[in-house]
Amino acid sequence: MTTPAEIASIVEALHRPQFATVLANFLRTKLTCSHLLMLGCRDGKHPIYLYDAISDNRDYLFQRYLTDSYLNDPFYCHAQKALSGDILRLKDVLTEPAQQQDYKQRFCQQTGWYDELCFVTRLNQNRWILLFIGHRNESPTRYQQNVGTLKELQPLLSALIHQQWADDHLLQSAAGAGIEGETAIEKEAFKSALNQAMASFGTALLTTKEREITLLILQGYDSQDIAALLQIALGTVKNHRKNIYRKLNVSSLSALHQLFMTHLLAS
């Protein structure tokens, strides 16, 4: 049973950077899950990382999923056609038993994420929030209990999520959390995290030279600057840039920056 005090604590966090964390903490008191992920989605664009509680295989989930694997995720694909408040189960997004078994072998065994559920909140025709929950192992009883609990919480969750993210500032809300007003120690920690994220960005998809050029692009250098710094032809830089955008599935500099911010927040 949800108490007035629990609802009040979430409402107080609305429109604040800590909302996703407060909502997740509330959900963990209601659901039996070891994995929890919140994504902001927009038609034709990369998902935006909002929150996660994932202890294992985060590199697989974030570096691959948010780069391009989400396009083949049956939950993500089905959610684009789902109604607000829908609770998607594996049997809803893959109707054939053989498909379900293949998904368990390809995704579940690699990530350690089982009993997956996806709660959909549609903000408008082109934007929606996806809440994924799962567990380290399978349990039909626990799974059905989580489905029932989500159904009970559906009106509350939909209303809260819509209030928080109805405006199109998903990335700003996620990226700005905890940065302004930091102490010197916290700023140094953020700088260290930034350096680590830049060192690991694109490692699974890009060549060494492409990663070198990508990091220069992220630091604000244009193609001519990069050609001069690396002492290579401008045309070579442009070719590398095309390959980088293709491999990372982005079409603009802003999309590249958005993808890096997602990687930074997930690192």
Q: For residue 119, is pLDDT > 90?
A: yes
Quote the pLDDT of residue 218. 84
User: 257 and 233 in contact (C-beta within 8 Å)?
Assistant: no
In whole angstroms, what is the distance from residue 44 CA to residue 76 CA?
12
Quote the pLDDT of residue 197. 79
- pLDDT tens digits, residue range 215-239? 888 877 889 989 998 999 999 999 9
Which residues are CB-contacts of 79 (< 8 A; sequence separation ≥ 6)? Answer: 41, 86, 88, 118, 120, 128, 130
Read off the tokens for 105. Answer: 């072998």
User: 79 and 52 in contact (C-beta within 8 Å)?
Assistant: no
What CATH code is assigned to 4-174? 3.30.450.80
Task: Determine the average pLDDT of the residues in 162-191.
Answer: 59
- 176: pLDDT confidence band, cut at 50, 70 and 90? very low
Q: Count CA within 13 A, CB hemisphere, residue 40.
A: 24
User: Could you state, in order of their start, the residue ranges of all structural domains in the chain?
Assistant: 4-174, 183-266
* CATH 3.30.450.20 for domain 183-266: no
In whole angstroms, what is the distance from residue 259 CA to residue 70 CA?
13
Task: Determine the average pLDDT of the residues in 50-59.
Answer: 80
Quote the pLDDT of residue 156. 95
Q: Comparing 24-28, 36-40, 176-180, 185-189, which segment has the lowest mean pLDDT?
A: 176-180
User: 240 and 27 in contact (C-beta within 8 Å)?
Assistant: no
Quote the pLDDT of residue 183. 57
Task: Determine the average pLDDT of the residues in 25-31.
Answer: 95
Q: Comparing 78-82, 183-187, 200-204, which segment has the lowest mean pLDDT?
A: 183-187
Q: What share of the chain in percent tops pLDDT 70?
A: 87
Q: Comparing 60-64, 74-78, 157-161, 217-221, which segment has the lowest mean pLDDT?
A: 60-64
Quote the pLDDT of residue 168. 60
Quote the pLDDT of residue 169. 53
- 58: pLDDT confidence band, cut at 50, 70 and 90? confident
- pLDDT tens digits, residue range 65-110? 877 788 899 999 999 999 999 999 999 999 999 999 999 998 888 8
User: 7 and 17 in contact (C-beta within 8 Å)?
Assistant: no
In whole angstroms, what is the distance from residue 143 CA to residue 134 CA?
9
In whole angstroms, what is the distance from residue 131 CA to residue 117 CA?
8
Quote the pLDDT of residue 195. 73
